[in-house]
Amino acid sequence: MGRQILQNLSEKGNGPNLIACPTCGRLEIDMFPMVARVEEALRDVRRTINVSVMGCVVNGPGEGMHADIGIAGGRQKGILYRGGKVIASMPQEQLIAQLITELRAIAAEDARLIAAGEPLPTGLGGSDAPLHALPMAVG
Ligand code: SF4
């Protein structure tokens, strides 16, 4: 299944892009509330960054590895991707909470840079390190 871009929160190449799966019979997570929470967290993000929220482990990993940061849902656990790498596997609620924590940290950094008159980076700004300690290691 090809990439589906359901939400583009601002002009292409300027601001965050949310890539969310269109949902199908393989869906393993409660997608729409999760997307709504991510949309809200992205409201204050100003940089160009690709964020993926995918509903299963069939197509989620590909999108997650191509996005700057993203999640792929799973029946028991989902996977968090950052900078094209698997960062952690964790239960759904932790997964979405961790993604939102990261997005809020990015938004705070954007606000700081704007206030300082500094340019905004694209994506993660070259950093692969999580902005916050992860609650659970890969496993
Ligand atoms: S990511 Fe998974 S659940 Fe979402 S549309 Fe693709 S196959 Fe279906």
Q: Each residue of 84-134: pLDDT tens digit?
A: 999 999 998 899 999 999 999 999 999 999 999 999 999 998 755 554 444
Ligand 1, atom 3, lies closest to the CA of: 27
pLDDT recorded at residue 51: 97
For ligand 1, mutation pick of 6, 30, 56, 81 (most atoms within 8 Å of CB): 56
Q: Where are the domains of the chain?
A: 7-115
CATH superfamily of 7-115: Sulfite Reductase Hemoprotein, domain 1 (3.30.413.10)
Q: Is pTM beyond 0.85 here?
A: no
Give the full edge-to-edge strand order of the sheet including 69-72.
Answer: 7-8, 16-20, 49-54, 69-72, 78-82, 85-90
Task: Supply 25's token pair.
Answer: 């019979």
Q: Which helix (H) or strand (E) holds 36?
A: helix 31-42
Ligand 1: atom nearest CA of 25 is 8
